Amino acid sequence: MVQKEKERFKVNKVPKSILVGFLFFLISLVFLDNYNHRLKARVLGINIQLQADQKRIFEWEQLLAEKPDYRDGWLQLSSLYAKVGNVKKSKEAFNNAKKIDPNFEELPSLEKLLEE
């Protein structure tokens, strides 16, 4: 009679392989969540930087609308356009700087940087 009661209340043992698998699964979830969090932070940082670059582009465009002969302004604008991936506008801004001062000694090295 006592034996039957012991069997009735006996807890089924879970195989070790299932426990190890479940533990591995939980650890994987923790690492995945951490990776996802870092990825979101990186994307947020990129978006903030892009917004700052767009603001600077707008400011340089406004300044150059008032002072279109400002060579260094065109070079700054060219650099910013290249940074945000707008190659066409980067080249246009660079060409404007080149028209203003074609003998500027830094132009060839800056042009090489923009081509990369």
Report pLDDT digits (tens) over 44-75.
Answer: 778 888 899 999 999 999 999 999 999 999 99
DSSP state for residue 105 in the 8-state scheme: T
Give the HSE-up count for residue 112: Cα atoms under 13 Å, Cβ half-sphere. 4
Kindly write down the DSSP assignment for every residue of 23-82, as one continuous string: HHHHHHHHHHHHHHHHHHHHHHHHHHHHHHHHHHHHHHHHHHHH-TT-HHHHHHHHHHHH
Q: Where are the domains positioned within the chain? A: 11-115
Structural tokens at position 51: 């917004």
pTM of the model: 0.63
Structural tokens at position 37: 């969090």
> Alpha-carbon distance 113 to 16, whole Å?
60
Report pLDDT digits (tens) over 1-49.
Answer: 555 555 555 556 667 788 788 888 878 877 787 777 787 777 777 888 8
Of residues 57, 7, 86, 97, the one with CA closest to residue 108: 97
Q: Would you say 46 and 83 are in contact if contact means Cβ atoms under 8 Å apart?
A: no
- CATH no. for 11-115: 1.25.40.10
